[in-house]
């Protein structure tokens, strides 16, 4: 992302962060009673410290992890490419996870 802005200012003031990720959200709504409606899901919450990366090699490594996930391949990142990009590394020291999974129909 950007190397400046409100988020970056907040990280400089206080690097403590909380990250929340959810996946596989599927509605659960085939009921006559509205209070039974909900969703199946998986969820992760992590707490830790944010660090703004400055080293070009560290940025390239992080950006390649993202590109491997998004595009399924790696790229060559030069210092010219990584210099204008803000990369935030988050070191998680506490986490929790939970899920509500679908039961197989019999």
Task: Kindly state whether residue 46 falls inside one of the protein's structural domains.
Answer: yes
φ and ψ of 40, to 5 deg: -90, 145
pLDDT of the chain, 106 residues: tens digit per residue: 899 999 999 999 999 999 999 988 999 888 888 888 899 999 999 999 999 999 999 999 999 999 999 999 999 999 999 999 999 999 999 999 999 988 766 6
The dihedrals phi and psi of 11, each to the nearest 5 degrees, come to -65, -40
**Are residues 24 and 42 in contact, defined by beta-carbon separation less than 8 angstroms?**
yes
Query: Could you give the dihedral angle defined by the CA atoms of residues 47, 49, 52 and 57, in that order, rounded to the nearest 10 degrees?
Result: -90
Residue 64 lies in domain? 6-100
**Does residue 1 belong to any structural domain of this protein?**
no
Q: How many domains in the chain?
A: 1
Euclidean distance between CA atoms 85 and 98, whole angstroms = 33
Vertex 51, ends 23 and 66: CA angle to 5°?
Answer: 40
Identify the CATH number of the domain in which residue 74 sits. 2.30.110.10
């Amino acid at each position: 992302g950007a190397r400046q802005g409100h988020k970056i200012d907040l990280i400089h003031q206080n690097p403590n962060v909380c990250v929340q990720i959810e996946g596989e959200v599927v509605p659960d709504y085939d009921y006559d009673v509205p209070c039974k409606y909900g969703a199946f899901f998986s969820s992760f919450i992590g707490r830790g410290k944010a660090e703004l990366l400055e080293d070009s090699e560290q940025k390239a490594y992080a950006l390649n992890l993202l590109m491997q996930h998004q595009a399924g391949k790696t790229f060559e990142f030069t210092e010219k490419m990584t210099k204008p990009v803000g990369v935030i590394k988050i070191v998680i020291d506490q986490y929790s996870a939970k899920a509500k999974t679908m039961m197989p129909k019999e």
